Amino acid sequence: MKINSISNFNYSQKLNKNITGHTHFSNTFYTNPLSFGNDSFKKNDNTFDETAKLRKRYEQINQERMKKVYDSSLESQEELMRENERTLREYKKINEILDKSDKQNYSKDFDVISKFLDAMDNIEKNKGFNRISGYEEIKEKLKEEFILSTIMKDRTSQGADVPNIVLFYGPSNNGKTTFAQALAEQSLSNIVTVSGGEDDAMELIKDYAEESLKNYNESTDKKRTIIVVNEAELLANECSFDIEKFKNFIKDCSSKYKCTLFLTSNTPLFIDNDILAQTNFKVPVGTADRKTCKEIIVDNFNTLNIKPEGNIDNLVNAFFVNPEKFYANGDIVNILRSTLQDKPNATISDFIKTLKKYEKTTISVEDINNFEEDKKALAE
């Protein structure tokens, strides 16, 4: 994603319906998605040269998008509409940051943000959010509210109030740790991992924090560190031997050590209430819905470079036949791999047969009920 300051406008006004009832986009958004004359832009005339380079690139992007829209299905058009809405929200977020830059720092902040976004857009395929199938709403929220609004902004002249803690919670085998690591990678941060059950977990966290501050001060781009703490409830419960040390540490670890703790937990309500009260970002990682389930399947097939004969939607539907049976993301992957081990040239019907024989799912009805209760409690 490239940047430039944009004017506020109602994106919904840029949509209309064609005679077939399909949603399509007016040429206004595609040929001129950015405005180049608002207050931020006028702060420094030198920005014109930087912006001119972006205009040509966006003209190419817009032409590609227009072709996709008019040559695609209704479902694809609606997805492109959501993609552009996401892009517009990000532009507005960036514009808010640049609007607060003074004339002296504007060009520098512009350059910092441009480089950050370029690096984030060019993350390797197996890194960051690229390795998380589905969960688009969660990824969008984290990108807008955590990455852009805090981590990226912190690299500008303004600095930012970066959170001390982010909590990932949900049933086991659903990828909480992977999600936490992916967010750390997506935010272009350093990353280290600690198990909350280790006897020296608190000492390790302090050591990593000291190293985080050292790396931050020595870096030219204010690169922060994410400390992932798995099974956080083992360290952060009120009966933990190190609970007071931990509570004191998280009060200012972001400002003091330039690090943020990503806690993962299957049982978040076991975490001390004072800690939960300080956690503004609580990320529920539940079982996959139909859309995410399909993305997991398709991504695995693409990774293996296979195209099984049959309708993938039939396989997706098979995961939701029994309303009392729930499959963790790890279960879905295991079923795919197990089928291919037995039959490398498996068809969709073969995957469904394996699924029907799959007895021991990771997640029980009780786990789902507990997860729903956790969400309600943590939302209060």
Q: Which two tokens stand for residue 204?
A: 């390790």
Give the tens place of pLDDT for each residue, 268-311.
Answer: 999 999 999 999 899 999 999 999 999 999 999 999 999 999 99
Give the tens place of pLDDT for each residue, 8-52.
Answer: 333 333 333 332 233 333 333 333 333 333 444 445 555 545 555
Whole-Å CA distances, 82 to 85, 133, 136, 270: 5, 17, 11, 37
Percent of the chain at pLDDT exceeding 70? 79
Whole-Å CA distances, 83 to 8, 65, 69, 137, 343: 18, 10, 12, 11, 38
Q: Which two tokens stand for residue 312?
A: 């993938």
Domain ranges of the chain: 11-122, 165-286, 290-362
Q: How confident is the model at residue 54 (pLDDT cuts 50, 70, 90)?
A: low
Q: How confident is the model at residue 64 (pLDDT cuts 50, 70, 90)?
A: low
Write the CATH number of the domain with boundaries 165-286.
3.40.50.300
Would you say 257 and 209 are in contact if contact means Cβ atoms under 8 Å apart? yes
Select the more confidently predicted residue: 196 or 18. 196
Per the prediction, the chain carries an average pLDDT of: 83
End-to-end alpha carbon distance in the chain: 35
In the predicted structure, residue 113 carries a pLDDT above the cut 70:
yes
In the predicted structure, residue 123 carries a pLDDT above the cut 70:
yes
Buried b (16+ CB within 10 A) or exposed e, 244-264: eebbebbeebbeebbbbbbbb
Residue 272's pLDDT is 95
From the CB of residue 179, how many other CB atoms can be counted at a distance below 10 Å?
Answer: 23
Would you say 82 and 137 are in contact if contact means Cβ atoms under 8 Å apart? no
In the predicted structure, residue 99 carries a pLDDT above the cut 50:
yes
Angstrom distance (rounded) from CA 253 to CA 81: 40
Angstrom distance (rounded) from CA 185 to CA 191: 7
Pairing of β 15-17 and β 259-265? unpaired
